[in-house]
Structure 1
Amino acid sequence: MSKDSTITVPPLAALRLRFEFGLFFIAAPLLIAVLFPPNWMFPALFAFTGLGIVLLHATPGFQWAELRYEWANWSFRELAVFTLVTVAFCTALIYLTRPEAAFFLLKHRPEMLVFIWIGYPLLSALPQELLFRPLFFRRYHAILPEGRKADILNAAVFSFAHLMYWSWIVALMTFVGGLLFSWAYRKRGSFFYAVLLHAIAGNIIFAVGLGVYFYSGNVQRPF
């Protein structure tokens, strides 16, 4: 996972992969964002996740045991720096954009925050990482650009998948997050580390108050 390799596929197979890639990573998020009412978004996302897991399981050469590879290839010091930087960035962002929402759950609904902290890693971070790291890089490796361009594309489609929130703040955070999670998966070769970073970032977002941008009830489409 940490090194690029050249894989040649027949033109027809490559065309099929590109079509499938476009449907899954572009058409589906676009349809969910444009056509589905906010209260339908999460059922649609769960269906989207289920399909992605089926596709990953059917990917030639993929074994679920791969997800254990290099699981410990990270350091607590690095994790501490990531956590502190994320807290500082998110705190500054909430006070600049929605100061009235700053630390709302921590102050007023701590029990809800605990519930989110327990559920988010398993119900959100883990399935998202399955789709946007192993599925993206393993199933579609043959049609991806080389090197850093693949990481940028990965971050872009990860950000686009959050179009349903119609927020430039969500788009920015998920793009930067996508770059970091892709780095953990590809350069460190650790799916576990990608999930861990994603879980920490998500839990910080909700603790700080930025979860207000990820709540479907607050979605306002620009049309």
Structure 2
Amino acid sequence: MTPPSTARLRVEFVTIFVLAPVSAAVLVPAEVLFPALFGLLVVTVWLLWQTPGFSLLQLWRGRVSWLRVLALGAISAGASVVLITELRPSAFMMPGLASPGLLALIVLLYPLLSALPQELIFRTLFFERYGPIIPGGPAGLILNAAVFSLAHMIYWSWIVAALTFAGGLAFAHSYRDRRSFPEAFAMHALAGDILFALGMSAWFYSANVTTPF
């Protein structure tokens, strides 16, 4: 399979990681976030299949440091408690208090229906297909975190932007530098479950989105 040209990679990269999220935030209702995510997942799998030398089977070979995963979970919990109690105290622990069954369902499904597709798009596709045009060193990690944060622009919240940027740095480091997709996925899944359980859905839930226009 012939490697794609640098020009094609650049066009794809800007379209997927810049134009698409900005257009979605401005033009598309937040309620269609998940259909859009799965549409992009289909495109991602196709592009990865077109990427010379890449196989999805290789993703699950990385080792997981559960200490790192739990540490990120603890940081996520601490940040969530501070933000909720200071800015939206009525939302603290609300999902579990309002509907324990629904929260349990979210905790079970979020890793597979949200964290896994996002990691395939924002870590695997980003680094495996677009590696030739991605800067090395810290700049590459920062760029990855930035586009991950930009993809959450649909929520129109500086809190969401800041948390996803910080999380993106951690996930990107696990994927690129530690060569562990399973670790990045586990971090993302645990952090997301913790955020929702503690009430961060006050900002991460599409029905709560308030656009600036």
Q: TM-score, normalised by structure 1?
A: 0.90
How far apart, CA to CA, are the structure 2 residues paired with 1:36 and 1:172? 22
- For the pair 1:108 / 2:122, whether they are aligned, the reply is no
1:29 aligned residue (21, 25, 32): 21
Pick the aligned partner of 2:187 from 184, 193, 197: 197
Secondary structure at the aligned position of 1:194 is classed as: helix
The answer to whether 1:161 aligns with 2:151 is: yes
Q: 2:58 aligns with which of 60, 66, 89?
A: 66
| Counterpart position of 1:52 | 44
Identity %: 46
Out of 103, 119, 136, the position equivalent to 1:129 is 119
SS state of the match for residue 5, structure 2? helix
Q: Is 2:159 the counterpart of 1:181?
A: no
Question: 1:94: Cα distance to partner?
Answer: 0.9
Between Structure 1 and Structure 2, how many residues are aligned?
211
Q: Which amino acid aligns with 1:120?
A: Y
Amino acid aligned to 1:102: F
- Residues 72-97 of structure 1 show CA distances to partners (whole Å, capped at 9, x for unaligned) of 241x3333332222211111111111
Deviation at 1:49, TM superposition (A): 2.0
Q: What's the RMSD between the two structures over aligned residues?
A: 1.5
Note if contact 2:122-2:148 (Cα within 8 Å) is conserved in structure 1: yes
Q: By how many angstroms is 1:47 displaced?
A: 1.1
Aligned partners of 1:95 and 1:53: how far apart in 2?
Answer: 40
| Alpha-carbon offset, residue 160 of structure 1 | 0.3
Separation of aligned partners in 1, 2:70 and 2:53: 35
Distance 1:21 1:31 in 2: 15
Equivalence for 1:5: none
Range with bigger deviation, 145-154 or 49-58: 49-58
**What secondary structure, in the 3-state scheme, does the structure 2 residue paired with 1:105 have?**
helix
One-letter code aligned to 2:5: A
Kindly provide the amino acid, as one letter, of the partner of residue 209 in structure 1.
G
Contact 1:73 1:188 in 2 (8 A): no
Q: Is the contact made by 1:73 and 1:189 (CA closer than 8 Å) also made in structure 2? A: no
Aligned residue number for residue 207 of structure 1: 197
Q: Deviations along 1:139-180, whole A, 9 cap, x unmatched?
A: 001111121100000000000001111010000000000000
Mark the CA change 1:77 to 1:47 in structure 2 (over 3 Å): closer, same or farther. closer
Structure 1 counterpart of 2:51, which letter?
A: T
Distance apart, 1:37 and its partner CA: 2.1
**2:58 is aligned with 1:78:** no
Distance of 1:77 and 1:215 partners within structure 2: 29
CA distance in 1, matches of 2:126, 2:67: 29
- 2: CA distance, partners of 1:42 / 1:134: 19
| Other-structure match for 1:4 | none
Are the aligned partners of 1:49 and 1:127 in contact in 2 as well (CA < 8 Å)?
yes
Structure 1: 5+ residue stretches without partners: 1-8
Is 2:34 aligned against 1:15? no
Q: Could you tell me whether the CA contact under 8 Å between 2:37 and 2:117 is conserved in 1?
A: no
Residue 59 (structure 1) shift = 1.2
The corresponding residue for 1:218 is 208
